[in-house]
Chain A
Amino acid sequence: MPIWIEVAVSLFLLFGSLFALVGAIGLFRLPDFFTRLHGPTKATTLGVGAIVLGSMIFFSSRGDGLSLHELLIMVFLFITAPVSAHMLAKAAMQQRLPRVDRTRGEPWE
């Protein structure tokens, strides 16, 4: 395998892992349930996206033809991530979970 492909794959893997880590840090650091929702729903889309790209480049360069089924991971993630975030937020509002004092606006009942 040419060196530049190895470099590209490693860069994508590192980049992806970094964003997955940021998502996890967000889950840990942010103050309340609603803000914590943002960590995993955002930072991980790019994290998984970069790892999937790395995987596509790696398997496509091994000479067995193009490897595209990783794209499906992205498609399903993009369709399902907003839905689960929406349901989580809805459930949290119904449970009247505490939110940080400086949150402006009111959730609906």
Chain B
Amino acid sequence: MMARLLPHPALSVVLLLLWLLLNNTLNPGHILLGGALGVIIPACMRNFVMPVPKVKQRIGLMRFTVRVLVDIVMANFHVAKLVLGPTRRLSPAFVEIPVSITDDFVLTVLTSVVSLTPGTVSADVSDDRRRILVHTLDAPDPDALVAEIKTRYEAPLLEIFECSTT
């Protein structure tokens, strides 16, 4: 019964929190309405929701989030420097990165993180999900970039989420 009413409990809680944040209130009426939305919306979207793998290490996830946020701030300064400096010295590149993440959700997280951090935008994912194509604003050494993304973002993601590596 519970499983049928709430197929995705975490999603329901997120929707409730979202509703309360949108209205900027803790009014009981809004809590009730948000709770109702948390039940109705997942029920309607049952077939579209992407399965999210279990989080194995909560502390690891928190540490990863903080690292990404810090990296985003640093990336902004770095990109600002590149943008305002002489653009003729930039060496942009398309870099292929082999990935060992097989889960679609985790792969989405990885590409999003890559897009949000230092001068890199993920441009494509190969059909077999084994490589991603990244465009970098300034990469004097593409191999170092591949190594950095693999150790800094991919390895922790593989540890945090319960997913098979191939």
Contact = CB atoms under 8 A, between A and B. Distances in A.
A23 to B, nearest CB: 8
A108 B124 contact: yes
B76 A45 contact: yes
A93 B139 CA distance: 19
Contacts of A42: 75-76, 79, 116, 119
Interface in B68-89: 72-73, 75-76, 79-80, 83-84, 87
Nearest to A66: B24
B142 A105 contact: yes
A30 interface: yes
B135 interface: yes
Interface string B112-124: 1011100101111
Contact of B72 (A25, A46, A108): A46
A42 B114 CA distance: 11
Nearest to A82: B115
Contact of B121 (A19, A68, A86): A86
Interface stretch (B5-13, B36-44, B46-54, B90-98): B90-98
A17 interface: no
By DSSP majority rule, is chain A's interface helix, strand, loop, or mixed?
Answer: helix
Q: Which of A34, A38, A68, A90 has the most CB of B within 10 A?
A: A38
A108 B91 contact: no
A26 B96 CA distance: 25
Contacts of A99: 92
Contacts of A25: 83-84
Given A72-B22, A81-B116, A86-B115, A35 B90 contact: yes
Contacts of B84: 22, 25
B158 interface: no
Given A38-B79, A38-B119, A93-B123, A29 B142 contact: no
A54 interface: no
Interface of A: 19, 22, 25-26, 29-32, 34-35, 37-39, 41-43, 45-46, 67-69, 71-72, 78-79, 81-83, 85-86, 89-90, 93, 99-100, 102-108
21 contacts: A25-B83, A30-B90, A35-B87, A35-B92, A42-B76, A67-B24, A68-B21, A69-B23, A78-B112, A82-B115, A82-B122, A89-B124, A90-B124, A103-B92, A104-B91, A104-B93, A104-B139, A104-B142, A107-B94, A107-B133, A108-B124
